[in-house]
Amino acid sequence: MPAPAKTLYLVAYDIPSQRRRTRLANQLEDFGVRVQRSVFECELTLDLLRELRRCISRLIDGAEDNVRIYSLCADCAGHVASLGARHPVEEDPNLLAVQ
């Protein structure tokens, strides 16, 4: 049986509470790679995406916090460019490093 298909998701957040922000960042590290202070790239199956959304919902305050999850199609994911300081994510063959 083939492995479930994975999609690249970009998760960005704006959370005023240091405590909630830290807890969310720690949880996101279980799902993906931090590429900026409040941005993670996560390669997930649909089941993992559902689990991630449940985790986020439990950690945030819906009245104050903002978390956005962007799905990148396979073609778009293959055209991501990274400028500036090197990040571990550049080792991902799906990403293009622009120098």
Instruction: Return the percentage of the chain with pLDDT > 70, whole number.
Output: 86
Q: Give the domain range for residue 78.
A: 7-97
The runs of H, that is alpha helices, within the chain are: 18-28, 46-59, 74-77
pLDDT at position 62? 95
pLDDT at position 38? 95
Kindly indicate the confidence band of residue 91, based on its pLDDT and cuts at 50, 70 and 90.
Answer: very low
Instruction: Domain count for the chain, please give it.
Output: 1
pLDDT at position 95? 44
Residue 29 sits in a domain of what CATH number?
3.30.70.240
Residue with tokens 């199956």: 45
In a domain, 43, yes or no: yes
In a domain, 40, yes or no: yes
pLDDT per residue over 33-86, tens digit each?
A: 999 999 999 999 999 999 999 999 999 999 999 999 999 988 888 888 888 876
In a domain, 22, yes or no: yes
pLDDT at position 97? 40
In a domain, 70, yes or no: yes
SS3 content of the chain, % helix, strand, coil (to 5): 35, 30, 35
In a domain, 1, yes or no: no
Burial of 9 (0-12, 13-18, 19+ CB in 10 A): buried
CA angle 28, 1, 27 (to 5 degrees): 5
In a domain, 56, yes or no: yes
In a domain, 2, yes or no: no
Global pTM reads: 0.81
